[in-house]
Copies of this chain bind each other. A is one copy, B any other.
Amino acid sequence: MSEVRKQDQAAAVEKPTMRDALVTAAFRLFMERGFEQTTIDDIVAEAGVGRRSFFRHFPSKEDVVFPDHDGCLAEMTAFLQDADDAGDPVEQVCDAARLVLRAYAVNPAFSVQRYLLTKKVPNLRAHELSVVWRYERALAAHLRARYAARADGALRADVIAAAVVAAHNHTLRTWLRSGGEGDVTAAVGQALSFVAETWSGSQAPSAPESQDDEVVVVVARRGTPMWRVVRGVEAALDV
């Protein structure tokens, strides 16, 4: 009942049993019959709690898939606030990104399950974008403050933040796609150094990578210029 309190850095009040029970029950049902095929009533029945209690712990059905992103975001923000004003801001946001990575790497099985869900549920993908967007804004805000003296500081901050997030997510997704095998930390480190060295100092990037061949199925309306709709798809597919 009381040994559940571990990650005290989450800066959130611990709801020892109920919250975890809901997450566990939700994931079991989501993996078993799919996200959209699972109702809130199914989850609360599986967890043995009342329906109203679900929304007391999670604002929406999607949020149960990202149960600790609030804590992680708070952790990242605190880290950036404590960052040395004399240090390299690009390196600092890269370290902040590594902090997020650690949250994923702590529980690979959970992260892979979540990846499989978000990959094929549009609702969850959209929700994940919102989550990632908050991280990116936090990084951009830090860079913006550090680049306040530059004329193009705000633009530079937004671009670097986006690049850091993209490099982080690219490597993370590759790792998740592999099922959580190998050393993510090292891979993300290489990817981040590729970004960091673009704006910080010397050069020497290059990370091993293999492109994946995919089968494309295009659905379009009869009588429409086919070549147009056909292109409109491969944009949407490449995850």
Contact = CB atoms under 8 A, between A and B. Distances in A.
Interface string A128-140: 0110011101101
B137 A236 contact: yes
A234 B126 CA distance: 13
Interface stretch (A19-27, A37-45, A46-54, A224-232): A224-232
A234 B231 contact: no
Interface stretch (A84-92, A105-113, A178-186, A203-211): A203-211
Contacts of A232: 11, 70, 73-74, 77-78, 219, 230
Given A209-B151, A216-B215, A235 B138 contact: yes
Size category, A interface: 35 or more
A205 to B, nearest CB: 7
A144 B215 contact: no
Residue from A161, A195, A234 having most chain B Cβ neighbours under 10 A: A234
A9 interface: yes
A159 B191 CA distance: 10
Contacts of A125: 130, 133
A120 interface: yes
A209 to B, nearest CB: 5
A237 interface: yes
Nearest to A165: B162
A238 interface: yes
Contacts of A12: 221, 224
A223 interface: yes
A161 B166 CA distance: 9
A212 B84 CA distance: 23
Closest 8 CB pairs between A and B?
A138-B235, A162-B166, A77-B231, A74-B232, A214-B216, A129-B129, A141-B238, A162-B162
Contact of A209 (B137, B154, B198, B220): B154
A1 interface: no
Contact of A224 (B137, B214, B221, B237): B221
Nearest to A119: B238
A225 B226 CA distance: 13
A74 B205 CA distance: 34
Interface string A1-33: 000000011011100000000000000000000
